[in-house]
């Protein structure tokens, strides 16, 4: 086990070389080797995806896992797939992102007051990490949250991300009654230590193509996160 990182940058470096989940490491490498026809001339990232954003962030966006041909290809959360094409324009409108389009590590995107991560950092087959793989990844989230010293609000993108945050709170000693922490789009919660959470449907194509999650609904979540974080 590597030593505890003292900065988010150091943490990201450790995450990128993580090998705790053999099934996921093999899958990501295979996807990177075979590639999708549309990206056949690109070199895929193919490794655990490091987090991205402003180390001074008051808001954390917590997703599920990298997309096989999205961040597993580009090496940055939500970059280069349909979920990211839905998320970044909203972050731009909400004042967190410098531009609406996220296409690659070199696209010039800068984030302010937000940090983006996920409960699993390697693309899983069928977008479904196993419970054991999610558990393997928890130390990264615990260390990350400890290093985000200004953190006030976590936006949980989907139920699995919210469960990941609840488990994180539990590991930290919060004795919370699960019944009071039920996932619903736009629900808000405050944990015993003062940290707040907002839950949102995940911006997966399944949700955004069907209208289950619309752009105004998603923007309201991030505008509310700004408010709860005391920004503006
Ligand atoms: S999912 Fe997390 S714990 Fe598993 S190999 Fe990837 S970074 Fe490591």
pLDDT per residue as tens digits for the range 178-189: 899 999 999 999
pLDDT at 2 over 70: no
Q: What is the pLDDT of residue 1?
A: 55
Nearest CA to ligand 1 atom 2: 137
The answer to whether the Cα torsion of 88, 90, 91, 95 is positive or negative is positive
Confidence at 16, pLDDT banded by 50, 70, 90: very high
| DSSP conformation letters of 111-122 | BSSEEEEES--S
Pocket of ligand 1 (CB under 6 A): 15, 18-21, 24-25, 48, 120-122, 133, 136-137
The preferred substitution site among 5, 18, 47, 117 for testing ligand 1, maximizing ligand atoms within 8 Å of CB, is 18
Rounded Cα distance between 33 and 46, Å, is 8
Which pLDDT does position 232 carry in this prediction? 77
If one residue of 62, 120, 164 were mutated to test the ligand 1 pocket, choosing by the most ligand atoms within 8 A of its CB, it would be 120
Q: How far is the CA of 161 from the centre of ligand 1 (A)?
A: 15
**Cβ within 8 Å of residue 196, ≥6 positions away:** 152, 153, 154, 188, 189, 190, 228
- Give the chain's mean pLDDT: 96
Q: Is the predicted pLDDT of residue 92 greater than 60, yes or no?
A: yes
- Rounded CA gap, 153 and 38, in Å? 37
The closest residue, in CA terms, to atom 6 on ligand 1 is 122
Give the model's confidence band at 3: pLDDT under 50 very low, under 70 low, under 90 confident, else very high.
confident
Closest CA to 83 of 66, 58, 106, 60: 66
Dump pLDDT digits (tens) for 124-171: 999 999 999 999 999 999 999 999 999 999 999 999 999 999 999 999
Quote the tokens at residue 200: 């949102």
Q: Is residue 32 predicted with pLDDT exceeding 90? A: yes
Structure tokens at 51: 């987090």
């Amino acid at each position: 086990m590597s030593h505890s990182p003292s900065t988010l940058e150091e943490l990201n470096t450790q995450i990128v070389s993580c090998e705790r989940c053999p099934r996921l490491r093999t899958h990501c490498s295979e996807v990177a080797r075979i590639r999708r026809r549309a990206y056949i001339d690109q070199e895929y990232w193919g490794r655990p995806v490091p987090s991205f954003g402003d180390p001074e962030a008051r808001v954390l966006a917590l997703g599920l896992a990298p997309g096989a041909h999205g961040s597993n290809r580009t090496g940055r959360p939500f970059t280069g797939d349909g979920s990211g094409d839905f998320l970044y324009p909203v972050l731009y409108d909400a004042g967190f992102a410098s531009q609406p389009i996220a296409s690659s590590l070199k696209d010039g995107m800068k984030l302010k007051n937000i940090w983006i991560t996920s409960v699993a950092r390697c693309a899983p087959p069928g977008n479904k990490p196993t419970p054991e793989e999610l558990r393997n990844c928890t130390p990264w989230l615990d260390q990350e949250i400890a290093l985000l010293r200004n953190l006030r609000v976590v936006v949980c993108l989907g139920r699995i991300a919210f469960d990941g945050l609840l488990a994180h709170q539990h590991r930290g000693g919060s004795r919370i009654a699960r019944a009071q922490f039920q996932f619903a789009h736009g629900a808000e919660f405050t944990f015993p230590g003062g940290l707040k959470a907002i839950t949102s449907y995940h911006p997966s194509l399944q949700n955004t193509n069907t209208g289950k999650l619309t752009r105004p609904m998603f923007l309201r979540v991030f505008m509310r996160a700004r408010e709860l974080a005391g920004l503006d």
